[in-house]
């Protein structure tokens, strides 16, 4: 469900009034960048870049493996010679096709992804040699059953209980079963050496993205939340992406922050992920007085806060440990998310908490009660819950609520 794909790239709306239409990130010194192209311009071509990479990989005989959840261990897919690609749909346009089959009351992320499947319009899904069907939530689990009628899928059972030895052991067994499935399906043993190499690659990717996110701790920061969100890729492990992340870090560390960002209200955004094409709410927040300084969700820090331990021990077990600890609402009781929110609110100097819930996402919706309590009673921060889908029909209403939230913060 994280940095997802399928929708042709659109020209993002500029969110930094200092430098439209050029990305604010690109306003730094070209000398600092060390090359002509701005990294943000590169990442705004993310879908074509990934498509070219996937096609070339396929020609070299590498399998394409689709995933839809941050629990799917990309390292195993890479160690099997495969290319892990996120399939989460962020387009409103594919939803009507999905609603011919699925209930209209389902979460838009599931419907959009399934719409791409029905329409055969996501090139990555059409290329996929395997789709990992994570048992994230009931809607996704049952959607994958329908997808499995015409595509090769493998069900990965996610852990449910937090801090539970049996649940942890069951998850480790699931990881081992997934490894065997990949080995048999793609005819290549996954050695510890290959796995350690893939872990090192993914640890590097997580570190680079964490360092970019950490730039938002500054007041004012050198980029907007929307620009940070654009630094992502549907495919992990692309060497050119890492060069661009490093170049962006060099540029942004030297860039003078845009003064207008200093007057914006610092928002900690939590809840569901804003997959590629479904960034509307973030645009509204930043267009109406807010600045998303921290995304706790799966398109932000949640999956990259921790690395896989590389030193010693069984790398498979190290993988199981890292992924078991993701603080997603599919976990019960998910205390780790509350802990993470506490820490992030402090580190990023958040002035309010805004929670995004996709329509019919029961786990995040019910957990939002605890997040509200944490924000208001423990952290002393105003809290706003926004439940929506991919349709722009409620944009004006959301904008009014965001403005009211910002006003509340300013009056404090
Ligand atoms: S929010 Fe939960 S279910 Fe969604 S991608 Fe993240 S870990 Fe997976
Ligand atoms: S947003 Fe919620 S309902 Fe939608 S796929 Fe993710 S966990 Fe399931």
Q: Does residue 120 sit within a domain?
A: yes
Q: Pick the residue with more confidence: 9 or 96?
A: 96
Q: What percent of the chain has pLDDT over 90?
A: 89
- Answer whether residue 107 is part of any domain: yes
**244 CA from centroid of ligand 2 (Å):** 31
Ligand 2 neighbourhood includes 1 CB (under 6 angstroms): yes
Beta bridge partners of 383: 353
| Residue 298 domain-assigned (yes or no) | yes
Does residue 10 fall inside a structural domain? no
pLDDT in tens, 40-83: 999 999 999 999 999 999 999 999 999 999 999 999 999 999 99
Q: What is the model's pLDDT at position 216?
A: 98
Longest dimension (CA), the chain: 63
- pLDDT of res. 16: 37
Please name which ligand lies nearest the alpha carbon of 139. 2
Residue 276 lies in a domain: yes
Q: State the pLDDT confidence band at 411, using cuts at 50, 70 and 90.
A: very high
Residue 14, Cβ density class (10 Å: 0-12 exposed, 13-18 middle, ≥19 buried): middle
Q: Report if residue 4 sits inside a domain.
A: no
Number of structural domains (the chain) is: 1
At 120, list the tokens.
């055969």
Three-class SS of residue 65? strand
Give pTM, 2 decimals: 0.93
Distance 360 CA to ligand 2 centre (A): 8
**Is the distance from the beta carbon of residue 357 to the nearest atom of ligand 2 less than 6 Å?**
no
Residue nearest to atom 3 of ligand 2 (CA): 361
- Looking at every residue in the chain, the average pLDDT score rounds to 92
What's the confidence (pLDDT) of residue 311? 84
Q: Please indicate whether residue 301, judged by its CB atom, sits closer than 6 Å to ligand 2.
A: no
Task: For residue 347, tell me if it sits in a domain.
Answer: yes
Q: What percent of the chain is modeled with pLDDT above 70?
A: 91
Range of the domain at 141: 24-410
First to last CA, the chain: 36
Looking at the DSSP bridge assignments, the partners of residue 66 are 85, 131
What CATH number is given to the structural domain containing 240? 3.40.50.11900
Per the document, the length of the chain is 412
Q: Which residues contact 259 (CB under 8 A, 6 or more apart)?
A: 18, 220
Residue 126 lies in a domain: yes
Ligand 1, atom nearest to 297 Cα: 1
Is residue 2 pLDDT above 80, yes or no?
Answer: no
Compute the average pLDDT of residues 86-112: 98
Question: Is the beta carbon of 363 within 6 A of some atom in ligand 2?
Answer: yes
């Amino acid at each position: 469900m994280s940095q997802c794909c399928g929708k042709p790239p659109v020209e993002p709306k500029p969110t930094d009034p200092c430098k439209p239409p050029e990305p604010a990130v690109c306003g730094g010194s070209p000398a600092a960048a060390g090359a002509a192209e701005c990294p943000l311009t590169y990442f705004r071509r993310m879908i074509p870049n990934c498509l070219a990479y996937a096609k070339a990989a396929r020609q070299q005989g590498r399998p394409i493996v689709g995933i839809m959840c941050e629990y799917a261990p990309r390292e195993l897919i890479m160690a099997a010679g495969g290319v892990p690609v996120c399939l989460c749909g962020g387009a409103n346009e594919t939803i009507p096709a999905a609603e011919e089959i699925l209930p209209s009351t389902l979460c838009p992320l599931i419907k959009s992804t399934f719409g791409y499947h029905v329409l055969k319009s996501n090139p990555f899904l059409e290329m996929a040699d395997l789709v990992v069907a994570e048992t994230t939530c009931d809607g996704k689990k049952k959607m994958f059953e329908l997808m499995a009628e015409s595509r090769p899928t493998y069900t990965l059972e996610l852990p449910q209980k937090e801090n539970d030895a049996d649940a942890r052991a069951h998850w480790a067994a699931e990881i081992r079963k997934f490894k065997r499935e990949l080995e048999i399906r793609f005819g290549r043993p996954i050695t510890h050496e290959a796995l350690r190499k893939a872990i090192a690659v993914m640890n590097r990717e997580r570190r680079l993205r964490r360092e970019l996110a950490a730039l938002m701790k500054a007041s004012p920061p050198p980029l907007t939340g929307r620009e940070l969100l654009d630094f992502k890729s549907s495919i992990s492990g692309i060497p050119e992406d890492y060069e661009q992340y490093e170049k962006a870090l060099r540029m942004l560390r030297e860039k003078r922050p845009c003064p207008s960002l200093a007057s914006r209200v610092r928002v900690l955004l939590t809840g569901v992920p804003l997959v590629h094409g479904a960034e509307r709410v973030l645009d509204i927040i930043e267009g109406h007085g807010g600045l998303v300084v921290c995304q706790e969700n799966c398109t932000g820090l949640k999956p990259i806060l921790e690395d896989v331990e590389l030193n010693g021990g069984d790398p498979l077990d190290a993988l199981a440990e890292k992924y078991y600890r993701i603080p997603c609402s599919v976990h019960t009781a998910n205390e780790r998310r509350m802990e993470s929110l506490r820490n992030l609110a402090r580190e990023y100097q958040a002035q309010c908490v805004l929670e995004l819930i996709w329509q019919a996402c029961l786990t995040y919706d019910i957990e939002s009660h605890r997040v509200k309590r944490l924000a208001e009673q423990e952290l002393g921060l105003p809290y706003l819950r926004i439940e929506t889908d991919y349709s722009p029909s409620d944009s004006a209403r959301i904008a009014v609520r965001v403005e009211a939230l910002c006003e509340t913060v300013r009056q404090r």
